[in-house]
């Protein structure tokens, strides 16, 4: 399928929308009342620090909603205002935040059901329905299906995600295999891979090193090569394009990424493959075998940089707030863990209490409850949140921490 031509055709359709409908002022006012916080703004104005009793709160200097997330939510709200009576669907969570998604449900925006096989059931969508594509984007196959049905489409895809799609389109045009740094089951990576030609998804630097080693050492004898190939295909089952063959499809490669991955790791992976292709084909020929574009999201980078800065300070513990299925939030948690700071990933203030307990998600583990998580005595608490987390949620968490430590939140102003 010529995905580039399809996108051009779709963008010209009168049923397709990427901008609002003129309800900006009303929607902005509504979003501010639902998601902003006076308390968090006060802490920002106070140098991202606030002390109350024995508790000092240190906010990261970049956290919470990014521009792409705010844009996606605003467009979804505008869509409901523009189509007050129509049935509206969304192909996935608009962003990875439970309260925001629940707000959409309360506005009678329905989510495409997922069958037991994991496939979405688009049979529920009728011709005159309105369908919202979330900030992560949607696969080209989903877009084509909705377009063929004659649906009205509101595309809230973040422009940074679209930038990655453009990169893999360039890979495809030049007959390069796209090496995508991401999680192959993540909505964004699924969408990105649908615009690629040949692709392979690597989760982390360790998997990238495995691929690099295969490129340099595919085996000397036919038996060794077949054994290594079989092992490779097993290692990356479900993470490559149909018909992928590592013996022929790793000769020319281009790098792309899920925009929410760790910036430093994406850069390491890019440099690793550049060195690998230099060793394999020589410095003079590397440009014929390797392509790299900067597709790291600015907002993701800013939040990660701010987190690295925050964990360099003396902190007693760290609270990371965001959806448990939020990739960018999980990577913020990883930064804290690397610095060996006690860290608690929660998705809302409802996870705190009753009493001095917290229900949180340790990295790569199930939810667990920790008692007496806030120790007695003076305490410095670092707080950050993922790009899908409203300030109001952060404010509620701060208020609960102060309440547990007997620091009256009302003295700080309304939240």
363, 333 Cβ separation under 8 angstroms: yes
Which CATH class, in words, describes the domain spanning 68-157?
Answer: alpha beta
384, 306 Cβ separation under 8 angstroms: yes
pLDDT of residue 89: 98
Phi, psi angles (nearest 5°) of residue 285: -105, 5
pLDDT of residue 409: 57
Domain boundaries, given as residue ranges, for the chain: 34-66+299-412, 68-157, 160-296
Listed in sequence order, the residues at least 6 apart from 29 whose beta carbon sits closer than 8 Å to its beta carbon are: none
Q: What is the pTM of this model?
A: 0.89
> Burial letters for 313-343: b for 16+ Cβ neighbours within 10 Å, e otherwise?
eebbbbbbbbbeebbbbbbbbbbbbeeebeb
User: What value does the mean pLDDT of the chain take?
Assistant: 93
CA distances (Å), origin 100, targets 110, 234, 323, 375: 13, 38, 10, 32
Residues 180 and 209: their CA atoms lie apart, in Å, by 14
Give the number of other Cβ atoms within 10 Å of residue 38's Cβ: 14
pLDDT of residue 297: 83
92, 155 Cβ separation under 8 angstroms: no
DSSP state of 378: -
**How many Å from the N-terminal Cα to the C-terminal Cα in the chain?**
51
Query: 293 pLDDT band (50/70/90 cuts)?
Result: confident
Sign of the C-alpha dihedral computed for residues 243, 246, 248 and 254 taken in this order: positive
- Express each pLDDT in 110-144 by its tens digit: 999 999 888 999 999 999 999 999 999 999 999 99
Is residue 410 over pLDDT 60? no
Q: Which residues belong to the active site?
A: 188
- Express each pLDDT in 140-199 by its tens digit: 999 999 999 999 999 999 999 999 999 999 999 999 999 999 999 999 999 999 999 999
Residues 53 and 35: their CA atoms lie apart, in Å, by 27
Residues 120 and 96: their CA atoms lie apart, in Å, by 18
User: Omega before 354 cis (within 30°)?
Assistant: yes
Give the number of other Cβ atoms within 10 Å of residue 349's Cβ: 18
CA distances (Å), origin 39, targets 30, 150, 394: 18, 46, 9
pLDDT of residue 233: 97
Listed in sequence order, the residues at least 6 apart from 107 whose beta carbon sits closer than 8 Å to its beta carbon are: 77, 80
User: What percent of the chain shows pLDDT beyond 70?
Assistant: 98
Phi, psi angles (nearest 5°) of residue 250: -115, 20
In degrees, rounded to 5, the angle at the alpha carbon of residue 206 between the alpha carbons of residues 205 and 208 is 60
Nearest CA among 38, 83, 22 for reference residue 412: 38
Residues 84 and 75: their CA atoms lie apart, in Å, by 14
pLDDT of residue 407: 62
Axis crossing angle, helix 205-216 with helix 263-281, rounded to the nearest 10: 0
CA distances (Å), origin 144, targets 109, 156, 161, 186, 187: 21, 16, 18, 20, 17
Fold topology of 34-66+299-412: Cobalt-precorrin-4 Transmethylase; domain 1 (3.40.1010)
207, 184 Cβ separation under 8 angstroms: no
- Express each pLDDT in 370-401 by its tens digit: 999 999 999 999 999 999 999 999 999 999 99
Give the number of other Cβ atoms within 10 Å of residue 2's Cβ: 9
Whether the domain at 68-157 and the domain at 160-296 fall into the same CATH topology: no
Pairing mode, strands 368-371 and 16-17? unpaired
Average pLDDT over residues 29-56: 94
Query: 300 pLDDT band (50/70/90 cuts)?
Result: confident
**Domain 160-296 CATH assignment equals 3.40.1010.20:** yes
Query: 301 pLDDT band (50/70/90 cuts)?
Result: confident
pLDDT of residue 318: 98
């Amino acid at each position: 399928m010529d995905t580039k031509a399809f996108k051009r055709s779709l963008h010209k359709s009168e049923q397709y929308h990427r901008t609002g409908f003129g309800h900006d002022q009303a929607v902005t006012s509504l979003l501010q009342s639902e998601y902003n916080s006076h308390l968090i703004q006060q802490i920002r104005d106070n140098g991202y620090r606030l002390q109350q009793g024995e508790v000092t709160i240190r906010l990261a200097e970049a956290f919470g909603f990014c521009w792409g997330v705010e844009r996606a939510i605003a467009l979804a709200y505008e869509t409901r205002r523009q189509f007050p009576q129509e049935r509206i669907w969304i192909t996935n969570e608009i962003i990875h935040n439970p309260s925001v998604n629940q707000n959409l449900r309360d506005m009678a925006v329905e989510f495409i059901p997922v069958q037991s096989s994991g496939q979405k059931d688009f049979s529920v969508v009728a011709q005159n329905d309105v369908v919202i594509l979330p900030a992560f984007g949607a696969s080209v196959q989903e877009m084509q299906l909705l377009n063929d049905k004659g649906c009205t489409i509101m595309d809230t895809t973040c422009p940074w995600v679209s930038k990655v799609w453009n990169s893999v389109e360039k890979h495809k045009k030049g007959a390069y295999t796209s090496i995508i740094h991401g999680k192959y089951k993540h909505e964004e990576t699924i969408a990105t891979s649908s615009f690629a030609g040949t692709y392979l998804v690597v989760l982390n630097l360790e998997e990238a090193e495995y691929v690099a080693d295969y490129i340099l050492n595919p085996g000397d004898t036919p038996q060794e090569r077949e054994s290594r190939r079989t092992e490779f295909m097993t290692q990356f089952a479900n993470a490559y394009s149909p018909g992928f063959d590592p013996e022929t499809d790793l000769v020319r490669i281009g790098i792309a990424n899920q925009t929410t991955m760790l910036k430093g790791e994406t850069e390491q992976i890019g440099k690793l493959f550049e060195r690998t292709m230099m060793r394999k084909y020589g410095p003079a020929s590397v440009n014929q075998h390797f392509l790299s574009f900067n597709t790291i999201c600015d907002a993701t980078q800013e939040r990660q940089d701010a987190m690295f800065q925050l964990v360099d300070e003396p902190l007693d513990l760290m609270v990371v707030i965001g959806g448990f299925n939020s990739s960018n939030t999980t990577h913020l948690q990883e930064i804290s863990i690397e610095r060996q700071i006690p860290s608690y990933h929660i998705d809302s203030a409802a996870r705190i209490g009753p009493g001095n307990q917290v229900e949180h998600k340790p990295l790569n583990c199930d939810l667990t409850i920790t008692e007496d998580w806030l120790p007695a005595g003076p305490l410095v608490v670092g707080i950050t949140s993922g790009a899908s987390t409203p300030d109001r949620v952060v404010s509620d968490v701060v208020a609960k921490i102060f309440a547990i430590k007997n620091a009256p939140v009302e003295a700080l102003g309304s939240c």
